[in-house]
Structure formats: C-alpha cells, structure tokens
Structure 1
C-alpha cells in the first residue's frame, strides 16, 4: 500500500512548470499617413509628429539643444533598428532600471527631454506631451499588446577587442566628419555629436556600447564611405562619446538600486 504522502511526493516531482508563452513576433510596419483621422485626434497626431521631427522649433520651451526626437529615432520613429516608436505604446508601464521604478510613457519621454535634448520635462497636461503621446499611439495602433516588433531598438553589438578612441578618431575623420564636421558640431541638417548643443552625460547615447550599436546599424557606409566593422563602430563611438558635452546634474539619482552599466560616463 502506497502511503498518501508518498503519492504526493511522486506527483509533486512529476509536475513540470509550463514555460511562459513566447511573445508573438510581428513585422515593423508603420501606418500610412492617410490613416490619420480627421478632427482633434488627427490634429494632435500631426502636431506630435512635428514635435518629434523638429523638437527645437515645436517645443522650444522644453528643448535645450539642437537635437530632435528623430535624431536618434530615425525616419520619424519608423526606421527599423533605430529605436522605432512603432509598437512602443503597448510596452508601458515598464520597469526603468535607471530610475529604479516602474515608469510610464510620459516618464520615458521626459527622460529623453532631460538627457538627450538637455532640456526640461514636459508638463503632463501640456499640449506637447499630449500630442507626442497621440503620435506614439498612432504609430502603434496596429501592433497587438504583448507583441514583439521585429527591428525594435538597436541590434546588440559586441566589440572584437576593447574600444580604442585613437583608432576611433581616424574612423571619425574618414566616415563621419564630412557630415558632422571635424569639430563634431553638426550643421543645420545634421545633429551635433558633442559640444554644448548635443546630448548630455545622462543620455543613453553617451554610453559607448549604446552609441556603437546605433552607429553600426544606421550610420555604417553613409555618404559613400566604406561600411564600418563592429570594431570601427566601437572605436568611433569611444571617440565621440568622450568628447566635451553638457553635464547632467541629476546623475547622482540614477540606478538607485544598483546595476549601473560599466560604460556609464559617471
């Protein structure tokens, strides 16, 4: 006779925990502009697109440099492997390690205004915030909640060897200076990579690994230059991310629960 408790042990050992379902993968496909509705919602979406693509002009009270949202989120937030906004609406709220808490879409937008644009946070009820939210919602409207959008973010990149800013200086002269300028200050049409009108120390792009992934995925081979290797991308990123740029006074509050990346600038 099998004692009841022995049977329970056998049953418990036989239980296999079910794996969580894998997220549905969907292609990155931004809606056509013809789908922007008429009326107040459509007007908000269109204004949000303007703020996104020319932030200094359409959000001058909150912009602190020459960058726009689309300086990093290319093609108005629609380009794959360039941190697209398509599908992002359904990803919030989410845990923000740098802040050490769960954050909203508004928190994430204001993080970019404070860091990447070295500016001021948008008030929650401001027209600029409401319109940016409307624009991200519209870009994401065809993506199911919980789906994984192919091309989200920047593809992770590994450097074959430690990054060398001296080699990076040569890569910059060969592949980047023609557009961004020898002084890195950009032009009316090209964002600055360093200096007072560029992103500050608290921006994600100030980290060499983040910058390298973006450069390799989006800047390699532009302007007729030879495509960059992974090592080139790391070297040139080590060069330009360590050039002079604005400080971020609130950096002391970052990663309150630990986990600060090794390539953080502070």
Structure 2
C-alpha cells in the first residue's frame, strides 16, 4: 500500500476539505422507503411510535393546548407523512439538525416541529423533553428506517415549481370555485365532521394556518397544489393554474403571526413571503 506523506497539517486539512465538501453541499438522494406498520416494535418504543402517529393525525383533538386552529399536521403532510412531495416525514431524522434560511441558523428537528405548531397550527410549541415531543420524534425516526444519515429522500418537501410564473388572481378565483370549493368551501371554511374537526381543512379564516406558515407563501402553496390537489387527482392542474389558485387563497384573511418580522434576518426573503 502506497502511503502519501503530507508535509503540513494545512495540507491534511485541505485534502479532507476537498473530499468532504461535495458530500456536504450536495446530499445524495435516495428512494423514499415507507416501512410496514407490522415492523413497529412491541413494548414502550412501539407505544411511543403509535402515540406519535396519533398526535400527528389527530392533532387538533389530541393537543388542544398547542393547536390554535382547526387543522391536523396531516392536513398538509398527507397520508400520515408518507406521501412524496407532500412534505413527507420519511427520512427527516437523517437530515436534521439542518440549516434553514428563514431563521438563518441550524435548527434541530424539535425546533422544526415547533415551528409548524406556531405557524401552520397557529398554536404553541411543545416542550422539547415532553412525552408528546418524544412520541412525535419516535414516529418520525421509525418512518426514517433505512434512510442513511445525511441523505435526502426522493419526494422530500414539495415539487419544484417555476417561480417566474406571473399569478392571475381572477383566474385563480375561478379555478378555486371549480376545483377546490366542493371540499374546502366557497369561503375557504373547510368541511366539518360530526366530531368537531374537519374532513377537509379550511384554507383561510380563523381556523386555517397563519401568515407565517410556509403554505401562506404563494409559490410554496402552488407547488403543493400542483402535485397533490384536487385530492386524488394530483397533477391534473397546470403549473399556471396552481400558481393562480394559490395567489387567490393565500391572500385571503387568516391569523397574523407577529414573529414573522424576524424571518430571513440575512435579507434573503423570498418574493412571495407574507
């Protein structure tokens, strides 16, 4: 075996940097595996995983002190967080902690979860060491079974959409009436179920996400709509239709979020940020 002698520590660090940099800047993408529920272990760990799923799919009822609207986490993270391009939770424990430009700092997965509670759920954060937070983390860890650390799964986040598309809110209103109102209501109020929650979530008004949520951003919402809506018919709207309808419903009245003034402190605020 040939041994290369490096004359200085600087040479060694430079070589290490050259090897490591591509892996850090360009994470490998791997297929998104969804584990079979039969693989949930018995005992306390399995109980925590099941509890975490229950909290995320029935959030409004299970965590009334932390949810300030009518939504569940799975109102956006479809099929219990297992649907590609609907911001799945599969693989999240493989990539966090992670730098986020909105806060301009490295966020833990707990911080990211609480960000959703405060914005998308218009509510209050969970204590980091609470049984509920640990249950949610347990479910996400189980969903990430088999995903190598430092890799992104195919379908993470939302589908990319062209942000140069110019929105037409008038056309968006027509798209909403034709494609969205039958489930989400003519006034965005959603469709309630007899148990007090929603069969289909409200997309504006007091029971919807607040202005600090990612879904309140036009292009983010459009990317979600393009791939996933109408429910069961994802991909049937054009990118322009998705941008137009997102421009319409994201600008409707919804709760404020005072702390949004602190977002993007480095000045790289996206053009569709509320």
**Does TM-score exceed 0.5, indicating one fold?**
yes
CA distance in 1, matches of 2:58, 2:261: 30
Q: Give yes or no for contact 2:226–2:239 (8 Å, CA) kept in 1.
A: yes
Q: Say which SS state the counterpart of residue 20 (structure 1) adopts.
A: helix
Q: Say which SS state the counterpart of residue 261 (structure 1) adopts.
A: coil
Rate the CA distance shift 1:70–1:223 in 2: closer, same or farther, 3 A. Answer: closer
Q: Residue 124 of structure 2 corresponds to which residue in structure 1?
A: 120
1:160 to partner: Cα distance:
6.7
Q: Residue 198 of structure 1 corresponds to which residue in structure 2?
A: 208
Cα offsets for 1:119-162 (capped at 9, x unmatched): 00001111211110111111002101122211111111116741
Is 2:29 the counterpart of 1:20? no
Rate the CA distance shift 1:237–1:127 in 2: closer, same or farther, 3 A. Answer: same
Q: Which runs of 5+ in 2 are unaligned?
A: 1-14, 192-197
Select the residue among 220, 237, 250 that pairs with 1:210. 220
CA distance in 2, matches of 1:245, 1:216: 22
C-alpha RMSD of the superposition: 1.9
Of the structure 1 ranges 98-107 and 145-154, higher mean CA displacement relative to structure 2 is found in 145-154
CA distance in 1, matches of 2:186, 2:36: 38
What are the residue-to-residue correspondences of 1:249-264 with 2, within 5 Å? 249-264=258-273
What are the residue-to-residue correspondences of 1:30-45 with 2, within 5 Å? 30-45=34-49
CA distance in 2, matches of 1:46, 1:31: 13
Q: Say which SS state the counterpart of residue 157 (structure 2) adopts.
A: coil
What are the residue-to-residue correspondences of 1:1-266 with 2, within 5 Å? 20-21=22-23, 23-158=27-162, 161-187=165-191, 188-220=198-230, 222=231, 227-265=236-274
CA distance in 2, matches of 1:75, 1:105: 20
- The count of corresponding residues between Structure 1 and Structure 2 is 249
Q: Give yes or no for contact 1:65–1:117 (8 Å, CA) kept in 2.
A: yes
Q: Which runs of 5+ in 1 are unaligned?
A: 1-14
Question: Given the two structures, how large is their TM-score scaled by the length of structure 1?
Answer: 0.89
Question: Given the two structures, how large is their TM-score scaled by the length of structure 2?
Answer: 0.86
Cα offsets for 1:1-32 (capped at 9, x unmatched): xxxxxxxxxxxxxx9x6672464432112111
Higher Rg of the two aligned structures: 1
Of the structure 1 ranges 195-204 and 160-169, higher mean CA displacement relative to structure 2 is found in 160-169
Q: Say which SS state the counterpart of residue 189 (structure 1) adopts.
A: strand
Of the structure 1 ranges 99-108 and 238-247, higher mean CA displacement relative to structure 2 is found in 99-108
CA distance in 2, matches of 1:259, 1:215: 25
Rate the CA distance shift 1:225–1:82 in 2: closer, same or farther, 3 A. Answer: closer
